[in-house]
């Protein structure tokens, strides 16, 4: 029975994770921290990378994104404002993990309506663990809705 979670993950389709940052280095750090699978009991992830806010909004509307990771320090459109806009404008907006510049900015994460908030510099263990939690929650909601 202990392997049932892993077996389920093996038969589950790939989950799509959107990564938004204008900085290719930040997007790479996020990808490397997560790897192909952030935890053994969740499906493999497919990354959808975006460098501009209009592309993020289009992908969130047109694609089956399971979780979005937005860089709050992106320029010219930061992830905080983009998160709030997406939550206001996109029907069934996927959960958002917001990367903020300082731990003291967590209140901005609440303002943006982000589902989870992590601070730069990126901690690979915290990022992978938080994303795995979000993917588990998303998978549970998909089973209940489907």
- Give yes or no for a cis peptide into 82 (omega within 30° of 0): no
- Whether 2 is in a domain gets the answer no
- Whether 1 is in a domain gets the answer no
Query: Tokens 């501009």 identify what position?
Result: 52
- Whether 4 is in a domain gets the answer no
What are 4-63's pLDDT values in tens digits?
344 444 455 899 999 999 999 999 999 999 999 999 999 999 999 999 999 999 999 988
Listed in sequence order, the residues at least 6 apart from 43 whose beta carbon sits closer than 8 Å to its beta carbon are 9, 12, 13, 14, 15, 37, 135, 139
Residue-number span of the structural domain to which 139 is assigned: 12-145
Domain count, the chain: 1
What element of type H or E holds 81? helix 79-89
- Global pTM value: 0.89
- At residue 145 the predicted structure's pLDDT band, cuts being 50, 70 and 90, is low
Strands in 96-100's sheet, in edge-to-edge order, are 45-50, 15-20, 67-71, 96-100, 116-119
- Whether 121 is in a domain gets the answer yes
CATH number at residue 37: 3.40.50.2300
């Amino acid at each position: 029975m202990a392997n049932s979670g892993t077996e389920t993950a093996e038969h589950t389709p790939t989950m799509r994770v959107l990564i938004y940052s204008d900085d290719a280095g930040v997007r790479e750090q996020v990808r490397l921290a997560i790897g192909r699978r952030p935890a053994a009991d969740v499906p493999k992830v497919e990354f959808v990378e975006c460098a501009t806010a209009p592309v993020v909004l289009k992908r969130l509307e047109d694609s089956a994104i399971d979780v979005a990771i937005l860089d709050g320090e992106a320029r010219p459109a930061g992830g905080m404002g983009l998160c709030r806009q997406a939550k206001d404008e996109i029907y069934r907006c996927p959960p958002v993990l917001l990367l903020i510049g300082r731990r003291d900015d967590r209140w901005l994460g609440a303002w943006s309506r982000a589902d989870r908030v992590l601070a730069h510099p990126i901690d690979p263990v915290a990022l992978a663990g938080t994303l795995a939690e979000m993917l588990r929650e998303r998978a549970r909601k998909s089973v209940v809705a489907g």
